[in-house]
Amino acid sequence: MPDGTGYVVDHFFTGAKTDGSNPRHNAMTLVGTVLYGTTFTGGKHNNGTIFSITDDGTYSMSPVFDFAKTAKNNGGDQPHSCFVAAGSVLYGMTSQGGKHGGSTGDGTIFSFDTSSNTYTRLYSFDGKHGADPHGQLILDPNGSTFYGMTRSGGKHDVGVVFSFDISKNKYNVLHNFSCPGNSTPMCIDANDGATSGHGTLVQNNSTLYGLTTYGGKYGNGTLFSIHTDGKHFTILQQFGKPSTNDGINPYGSLLLNGTTLFGTTRLGGSKGNGTVFQIDTDGTNYDRIYDFQGGNDAANPIDNVILLDNTLYGMTEAGGLCGNGAIFALVPP
């Protein structure tokens, strides 16, 4: 519950050859009264699963789908995040598998029809136009186009922003990231970023907003905007400016509330344990609204925050009384 009470474990994953293991990064999507999620590994082929569970913990011990790399099984492998739902159909990505990229594969876009438990591979990443997609797809509310990011591949092998029109089965690269760090020879343009972590784009009308974990002027990540047609790529924030205790290495996704974006950085801040920040959609009024302290405090957030009743909620991978992470609440200014 939002007040910190009522914590319950609904299911313990049992690993390989069974129901899956290692679920990651916001990997739950509600369809009606049923939650669908993914595990990164485990399942029949140990390449991950799609599972379903209700909010009272009712669970079928067999996954609704087991990922496998082989063409016979449509080639998806190791999903990293949750789905976007369109009616009874879920759309997602796998970080490996597919028709390209050798024995591991460069990843896929897929659909899963929950009414028939039917899995369909829609697109295989080919490296040249992106590879290793993490995070969640988003669906344009006015059409049939999905948007997403990859961690590698593209012109400079540090990831891309892409669109995928499901009605035309057409994939398009909107932006090739070019700058893994300001001291790296591969950095073509310091006013760019690289490697999207496992973040998800957010959309406001015809503009997309996203984060890169690395790259930028200081090599510590960026916050950017880009139009849905691929034009007007703009860096709104360069993270990690020296001597400012700024946040470093944003992971996860942005949260859009009106004209304000909220997010987290895994490192940086006054104690080096990460931050929560806010910034206006035009790039103004950037502010660190919390610096994680470590110790009994939370530390190192790597996922997005949600907003409920004017309070931000999120998780960290370290810190807390046991040192293994914490759930936190924060009222923004």
Is 321 domain-assigned?
yes
Residue 317: pLDDT band by 50, 70, 90 thresholds? very high
Is 262 domain-assigned?
yes
Say what percent of the chain tops pLDDT 70: 93
Is 167 domain-assigned?
no
Question: Is this structure's pTM higher than 0.85?
Answer: yes
Q: What per-residue confidence (pLDDT) applies to 188?
A: 58
Cα three-residue angle 137-27-239, rounded to 5 degrees: 65
Q: What per-residue confidence (pLDDT) applies to 73?
A: 47
Q: What per-residue confidence (pLDDT) applies to 78?
A: 86
User: What's the whole-number mean pLDDT along residues 209-227?
Assistant: 93
User: What's the whole-number mean pLDDT along residues 209-216?
Assistant: 93
Does the pLDDT value for residue 47 go beyond 90?
no
Is 287 domain-assigned?
yes
User: What's the whole-number mean pLDDT along residues 157-169?
Assistant: 95
Q: What per-residue confidence (pLDDT) applies to 231?
A: 97
Domains held by the chain: number: 1
Q: What per-residue confidence (pLDDT) applies to 199?
A: 77
Is 317 domain-assigned?
yes
Does the pLDDT value for residue 271 go beyond 70?
yes
Is 227 domain-assigned?
no
**Domain span at residue 333?**
242-333
